[in-house]
Structure 1
Amino acid sequence: MRPGEARVRVVAEDWRSITYEAEFTQSNGERVVRRYQCALPKAIALRRLRATYIVGLWHEVDGASCYHVRQVVSPILSSGDEAARDDAVLVARALVDMERRATCGATVDSLQVYTVERAVDWQAL
């Protein structure tokens, strides 16, 4: 990356906000990383809340069950309920694979779904 150029990526998001990380190199060669959290306007946040799902996944590790839960905003806010649920499961599987494969061996193929609930309907047991 040349001085003055920045690489920006999404590092976290939920129904209320999106957090971006900007990485750039200063003219003296120093690498700088900054995070910016952007609150979403109320109308968009409420729409995203309705499209947010709690996805519970599990897989076997050495004869034991390993559980993972992710809160996922369906990537297409205008999808119907069944398609949004499927999209949320797909995203949750990818996140767990990316975040936990090295720790517990979770992969997209090994993860099984045990629950998919809208966040607005979620009630902890």
Structure 2
Amino acid sequence: MAKTRELLKQIKDGADFATLAKANSSCPSAQKGGDLGFFSRGRMVPAFEKAAFELKVGQVSDIVETQFGYHIIKLTDRKDAVVKTFEQAKDDIIKMLAQKKQGELVKEYIDSLKAKANIAYL
């Protein structure tokens, strides 16, 4: 926690967030300077999400504790949610339903193979 406090102080004093993230973060996003990209509500753990969505562009959060550790969040950009029309979403819906059905069929096939197989553990 002391290290996280020191990093937050450095950021608030003008240090580059991305440089500090690359050097100090254990998150896979560290390689990208801590950039998580855009994410919508429901994608992150509650404490992290709450802190992130309360920020304005350019703001840095206080220290956020989650089950994964301590986090400092900097909001660099925000996109408004986009609601697609059915026509815009139709191809994505078809693809998603086809993938779901394919997964179900593969599972059924594997289950049928297991039921027919004579498997002995030695």
Shared fold per TM-score greater than 0.5: no
TM (norm. structure 2) is 0.23
- Greater fraction of residues in strand: 1
- Greater fraction of residues in helix: 2
Question: Which of structures 1 and 2 has the bigger CA Rg?
Answer: 2
Higher relative contact order (CA 8 A, sep 6+): 1
